[in-house]
């Protein structure tokens, strides 16, 4: 794809557009309604959106488990499942949009969404460089908090990462500019956007009896945007004097997650988008692989739950989709259940997963023929759910 090379004055005009669109976003954030109270919703609509690669396979397994857990609520009409097809790479490329319009309308007709991984187009891989469906969905549905828990019970590790999800290097990631011999991207931090992620992290800490919140930035070098993130998080921390706050630079925090003497002391971490993306893959790898970690993308009106990993097209090419591990999507499903007010059901699902993955380990999913299939593993989870 040929690059659109701008002159300095054209680039400056684009920069002005970016600034204006961010001011509009700030106004929208200020006027947004509060979080949905699911206890007051008669019928909760759960959208099921398979995505690409191994996405449809692992999403279908999680849907089966969710339906087993929620069967009485479905029969009473309290919960409705809605299948949303069409968020495939093929469809996105054919309309050259990160999310086709009809798919976006369907997503917006749900309360919460369980979404399989979607392949991100990448110019270096020869696909048109359209924006990631994930990034677009987080922005379109204003899913500002990416909550990613990682726990290794045998080591006393229980971390929850609060990754800011709509700003930072991702806010206008597709609106960077190319000039002759020069490329510039934009990184954005707003007061409003930082306050809401910081507050959510502290509220979570308070509600879950966590003693410590760590703010992670690179504010010594990225002085404006990370500087603002750190300053605002610290300001919010003053509202929570009972919680210990400390701040770290992302490089040393990345190292500390490997420090067996110190790492169990971390509890809640709040951090800008890109650092949150990177460090949560590292954390998930320590837990047993990115295939084991789920995440919640939380906004005030909508919420979307997904794996933290990608669509693994190679597994599909090699005929291994049925061996893909659904546990990331099952962890995400547990978070979905808690989010819509079914805390017991969500906690039971996590318990069943702990039994299957760490305690009994009757089946292991390896992603290959030598391991169990995703279907066998989810059947195992359902059988454990029946006895706990």
Of 91-99, 132-140, 264-272, 364-372, the segment contacting ligand IPM by CB under 6 A is 132-140
Of 159-167, 174-182, 224-232, 269-277, the segment contacting Mg ion by CB under 5 A is 269-277
> Which residue, 387, 332, 310, is CA-closest to 356?
387
Give DSSP secondary structure letters for 218-279: -TTTSTTHHHHHHHHHHHHHTT-TTSEEEEEEHHHHHHHTT-TTTGGG--EEEE-HHHHHHH
Of 73-81, 92-100, 129-137, 324-332, the segment contacting ligand IPM by CB under 6 A is 129-137
Report how many residues bind Mg ion under the rule CB under 5 A.
1
- Residue 119 is classified by DSSP as P
Q: Let me know how long the chain is.
A: 388
User: Which residue's CB is nearer to ligand IPM, number 60 or number 312?
Assistant: 312
Q: How far apart are CB 160 and ligand IPM at their closest, in Å?
A: 15
CB 51 within 8 A of CB 87: yes
List 48, 135, 250, 284, residue binding ligand IPM (CB under 6 A): 135
Q: Report what 328 binds from Mg ion, ligand IPM, none; CB cut-off 5-8 Å by kind.
A: none
Q: Where are the alpha helices (DSSP H) in 32-77?
A: 55-69, 71-75
Near ligand IPM in 289-318, by CB under 6 A: 308, 310
Q: Does 132 bind ligand IPM (CB under 6 A)?
A: yes
Q: How far apart are CB 33 and ligand IPM at their closest, in Å?
A: 26
Query: Phi, psi at residue 238, to the nearest 5°?
Result: -65, -20
Q: Report what 106 binds from Mg ion, ligand IPM, none; CB cut-off 5-8 Å by kind.
A: none
Q: Does 277 bind Mg ion (CB under 5 A)?
A: yes
> Which residue, 57, 47, 98, 48, is CA-closest to 313?
57
Q: Does 167 bind ligand IPM (CB under 6 A)?
A: no
Near Mg ion in 315-354, by CB under 5 A: none
Report how many residues bind ligand IPM under the rule CB under 6 A.
7
Alpha-carbon span 133 to 352, nearest angstrom? 31
Q: Does 63 bind ligand IPM (CB under 6 A)?
A: no
Query: For 32-57, b where at least 16 C-beta lie within 10 A, e where not — what string?
Result: eeeebeeeeeeebebbbbbbbbbbbb
Which spans of this chain sit near ligand IPM (rule: CB under 6 A)? 120, 132, 134-135, 277, 308, 310
Which spans of this chain sit near Mg ion (rule: CB under 5 A)? 277
């Amino acid at each position: 794809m040929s690059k659109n090379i701008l002159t300095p004055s054209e680039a400056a005009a684009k920069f002005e557009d970016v600034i204006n669109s961010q001011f509009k976003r700030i106004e929208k954030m200020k006027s947004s309604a509060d979080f949905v109270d699911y206890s007051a919703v008669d019928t909760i609509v759960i959208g099921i959106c398979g995505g690409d690669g191994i996405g449809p396979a692992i999403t279908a397994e999680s849907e089966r488990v969710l339906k087993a857990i929620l069967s009485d609520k479905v029969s009473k009409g309290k919960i409705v499942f809605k299948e949303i097809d069409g968020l495939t790479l093929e469809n996105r490329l054919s309309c050259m949009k990160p999310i086709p319009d009809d798919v976006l309308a369907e997503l917006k007709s749900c309360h919460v969404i369980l979404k399989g991984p979607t392949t991100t187009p990448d110019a270096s891989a020869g696909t048109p460089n359209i924006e990631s469906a994930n990034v677009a969905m987080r922005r379109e549905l204003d899913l500002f908090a990416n909550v990613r828990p990682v726990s290794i019970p045998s080591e006393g590790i229980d971390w929850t990462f609060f990754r800011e999800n709509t700003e930072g290097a991702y806010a206008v990631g597709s609106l960077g500019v190319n000039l002759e011999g020069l490329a510039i991207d934009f990184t954005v931090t707003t007061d409003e956007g930082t306050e809401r992620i910081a507050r959510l992290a502290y509220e979570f800490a308070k509600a879950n009896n966590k003693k410590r919140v760590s703010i992670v930035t690179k504010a010594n070098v990225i002085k404006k945007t990370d500087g603002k993130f750190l300053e605002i998080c610290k300001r919010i921390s003053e509202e929570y004097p009972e919680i210990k706050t400390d701040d770290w630079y992302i490089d040393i925090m990345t190292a500390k997650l490997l420090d067996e003497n110190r790492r169990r002391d971390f509890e809640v971490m709040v951090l800008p988008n890109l650092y949150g993306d990177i460090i949560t893959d590292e954390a998930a790898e320590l837990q047993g692989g990115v295939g084991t970690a789920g995440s919640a993308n939380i906004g005030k009106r909508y919420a979307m739950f997904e794996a933290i990993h990608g669509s693994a097209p190679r597994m599909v090419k090699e005929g291994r989709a049925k061996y893909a591990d659904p546990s990331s999507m099952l962890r995400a499903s547990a978070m979905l259940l808690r989010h819509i007010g079914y805390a017991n059901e969500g906690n039971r699902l996590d318990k069943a997963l702990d039994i299957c993955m760490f305690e009994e380990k009757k089946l292991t999913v390896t992603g290959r023929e030598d391991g169990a299939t995703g279907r066998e593993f989810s059947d195992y989870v359902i059988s454990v759910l029946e006895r706990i």
